[in-house]
Amino acid sequence: MRSKFTITAFTRLALCGGYFFLTSLAFAQQTPPATPAQPATPAPPPSYPTAAPPMAPGPFTIQSADGKSRLKVGGLVQSYLHAFPEDGRTGNSAFSLRRVRPILDGVLFDFVEFRLMPEFGEGRAILQDAYVDLRLRPQLRLRSGKFKVPYSLERLQMAADVPFLERSIAGNVIPIRDVGLMLMTDPDRNGLELEFGIFNGVVDNAAGDGNADNALELAARVFYQPFRSRPTSRLRGLGVGIAATAGSTTEPLSGQTFRTAGRSAFFRYAEGVTGDGERTRFAPQFFYYVGPLRFLGEHFTTRQEIRKGAAATHAVTNGFNLQATYVLTGEPTSFRNPVARRPYDPATGRGGAYELAVRYSQFRGDDETFSLSLADPATSADKADAVTIGINAYLSGDHRDQCLPEPSTQSAVKLRTHRFRAFHPIPDRQSIHRERDPGRATTKLLIFCPAPSAQDKKIRRKAREQDNCNVSFNELGRGGRKIWAVL
């Protein structure tokens, strides 16, 4: 009976995934290339950062003579102090190197992309990401290797772009990373993202490098930004979606530990508990970005058969996460961090961008898990809530300070962190200047581009494709161009 259900769930997911991908291919072939957004209102980045950040020339980029193969070297270092108000009851106060990640992103022959990202934080030496993308169409790619399972919206954010020190307490009921094969689309002008993959399968709050049993797991995600192509719409930054996984497992669960943002364990299964059949997950999600405001929310449900000896149950665990941020200095925000208009200047003490962040998250366990002694109520909680309030300081494009107190079931308090991002989201250019035209009562954006190069024609073409934008090119002395965009 269990096998029949498994096959049915796999078949339904496969048919749905195939339908959505055929639809996306039709969109990709029938619609013209996406029109770049006006410079004054940048388009929100994709909800799922599938591709490596733009490979703009820089001091850490190695590039072939024809520009078709590139390697970019970056990294992420995150350190902070966990301070607990009660001595030893919820945890020990300590400094921590939470994340230490060298990052290699590359492109080969303009259609093969790859990422290699090990992790050395907290005294570990593990491989976080190692995958290769084969671009089959302009908006369609095939990914193989170890990478994030397309499920949680917050988890799909790069660690450097999460507006809190740790992801929410609800993230304990999601898969993190796994080894597998995935077909996916990049968001085009229609704002549609689709991911469909097959993986080894991992337990909640875990990343895997192998398969502990003989079963595989399917994962699918659909995310839609209906107003993405409307530059003037207040709903341009709205996106809604849904994700799901389906599979079966007999993997041991006794080593599975759920933790608070203070890294204190609050739930674990009893020794000898294993999976006993079907495991499905379901996650509706949304985000909304408008000006300096951003909102993100999602709900998770995991259903799985578990067993210890004669005791067995169909366990259901839930969690949700709601968060909002506001950039006090007015910079626009998106799925990635805001970028300061003026980098912080130590000589004057001015500059930088400052952001207020708040989050409420919750975890709910299954009652029968405790009544059947599949979890110890003395060491595990059937419910956990956490409220996080923080202030972020973006001193430049690559550095952030945070002060985030988070009361929860374990009352963790976190102070100060430093993050170093590998990639700056602003395109490489020499300078930007704004000017008011009193005769026409319009605003002009003057962009001084680098000297004419192989990209000059591309810049010209993209500028002319701007909606509601009148563009003219003028020579700028020896080897330079200026672009006047009347907005």
What DSSP string describes 210-242?
S-SSS--EEEEEEEE-TTTT-TT-TTTEEEEEE
Comparing 201-210, 284-293, 476-485, the range with the smallest average pLDDT is 476-485
Exposure string (b/e) for 180-216, b if CB count within 10 Å is 16 or more?
bebbbbbbbbbbbbbbbbbbbbbbbbbbbeebbeebe
Number of domains observed in the structure of the chain: 2
Within this chain, do residues 440 and 412 fall inside the same structural domain, yes or no?
A: no
Q: What is the mean pLDDT of residues 69-81?
A: 91
- CA dist 193 → 46, 153, 242, 401, 419 (Å): 8, 12, 11, 32, 29
Within this chain, do residues 377 and 406 fall inside the same structural domain, yes or no?
A: yes
**468 domain residue, yes or no:** yes
Q: Do the beta carbons of residue 449 and residue 432 sit within 8 Å?
A: no
**115 domain residue, yes or no:** yes
Within this chain, do residues 73 and 180 fall inside the same structural domain, yes or no?
A: yes
Q: Which domain holds residue 463?
A: 431-486
**425 domain residue, yes or no:** no
Q: Output the pLDDT for position 483.
A: 39
Q: Output the pLDDT for position 449.
A: 40
Query: Which pair of tokens denotes residue 481?
Result: 């161009």
Per DSSP, the three-state class of 14 is helix
Q: Do the beta carbons of residue 283 and residue 242 sit within 8 Å?
A: yes
In this predicted structure, the answer to whether residue 37 has a pLDDT above a threshold of 70 is no
Q: Output the pLDDT for position 92.
A: 77
Q: Output the pLDDT for position 458.
A: 56
Q: Output the pLDDT for position 94.
A: 84
Pick from 324, 437, 317: which is nearest to 387 by CA?
Answer: 324
What confidence category does residue 27 fall into, taking pLDDT thresholds of 50, 70 and 90?
A: very low
Side chain identity at 206, as an amino acid letter?
A
**Residue 6 belongs to domain with CATH number:** 2.40.160.10
What confidence category does residue 194 fall into, taking pLDDT thresholds of 50, 70 and 90?
A: very high
77-122: pLDDT as tens digits: 999 888 877 665 667 788 989 999 999 999 999 899 999 999 999 8
Within this chain, do residues 286 and 405 fall inside the same structural domain, yes or no?
A: yes
Residues facing 315 on adjacent strands: 304
Top-confidence residue, 221 or 479: 221
Within this chain, do residues 471 and 405 fall inside the same structural domain, yes or no?
A: no
196-237: pLDDT as tens digits: 999 999 999 999 898 988 899 999 999 999 999 888 899 999
**126 domain residue, yes or no:** yes
Within this chain, do residues 363 and 478 fall inside the same structural domain, yes or no?
A: no
395, 420, 445 - which closes a domain = 420
Side chain identity at 4, as an amino acid letter?
K
370, 389, 420 - which closes a domain = 420
396, 420, 444 - which closes a domain = 420
**381 domain residue, yes or no:** yes
Pick from 357, 351, 349, 360: which is nearest to 333 by CA?
Answer: 357
Q: Output the pLDDT for position 168.
A: 94
What confidence category does residue 366 fall into, taking pLDDT thresholds of 50, 70 and 90?
A: very high
Within this chain, do residues 170 and 252 fall inside the same structural domain, yes or no?
A: yes
Within this chain, do residues 349 and 475 fall inside the same structural domain, yes or no?
A: no
Q: What is the mean pLDDT of residues 330-341?
A: 90
The pLDDT mean for the chain works out to 76
Q: What is the mean pLDDT of residues 237-252?
A: 94
Q: Output the pLDDT for position 48.
A: 43
In this predicted structure, the answer to whether residue 57 has a pLDDT above a threshold of 90 is no
Top-confidence residue, 246 or 403: 246
Q: Do the beta carbons of residue 394 and residue 355 sit within 8 Å?
A: yes
Comparing 46-60, 161-175, 229-243, 282-296, the range with the smallest average pLDDT is 46-60
Exposure string (b/e) for 81-116, b if CB count within 10 Å is 16 or more?
ebbbeeeeebbeeeebebbbbebbbbbeeeeebbbb
Per this entry, what is the length of the chain?
A: 487
- CA dist 77 → 101, 208, 425 (Å): 6, 23, 18
Pick from 358, 408, 413, 411: which is nearest to 383 by CA?
Answer: 408
Per DSSP, the three-state class of 390 is strand
**40 domain residue, yes or no:** yes
CA distance 473 to 115: 37
Within this chain, do residues 344 and 446 fall inside the same structural domain, yes or no?
A: no
What confidence category does residue 442 fall into, taking pLDDT thresholds of 50, 70 and 90?
A: very low
Q: Do the beta carbons of residue 485 and residue 447 sit within 8 Å?
A: yes
CA distance 422 to 60: 9
- CA dist 305 → 256, 277, 309, 315 (Å): 15, 5, 13, 6
Q: Do the beta carbons of residue 167 and residue 296 sit within 8 Å?
A: no
Top-confidence residue, 441 or 380: 380
Q: Output the pLDDT for position 406.
A: 53
Side chain identity at 104, as an amino acid letter?
L
**Ranges 23-32, 316-325, 393-402, 447-456, most confident:** 316-325
In this predicted structure, the answer to whether residue 149 has a pLDDT above a threshold of 50 is yes
CA distance 281 to 284: 10
Residues facing 137 on adjacent strands: 140
**426 domain residue, yes or no:** no
Q: What is the mean pLDDT of residues 181-205?
A: 91
**250 domain residue, yes or no:** yes
Q: Output the pLDDT for position 433.
A: 39
Share of the chain above pLDDT 90, in %: 48
Within this chain, do residues 172 and 227 fall inside the same structural domain, yes or no?
A: yes
The whole-model pTM stands at 0.71
Q: Do the beta carbons of residue 188 and residue 26 sit within 8 Å?
A: no
Within this chain, do residues 81 and 217 fall inside the same structural domain, yes or no?
A: yes
Within this chain, do residues 398 and 454 fall inside the same structural domain, yes or no?
A: no
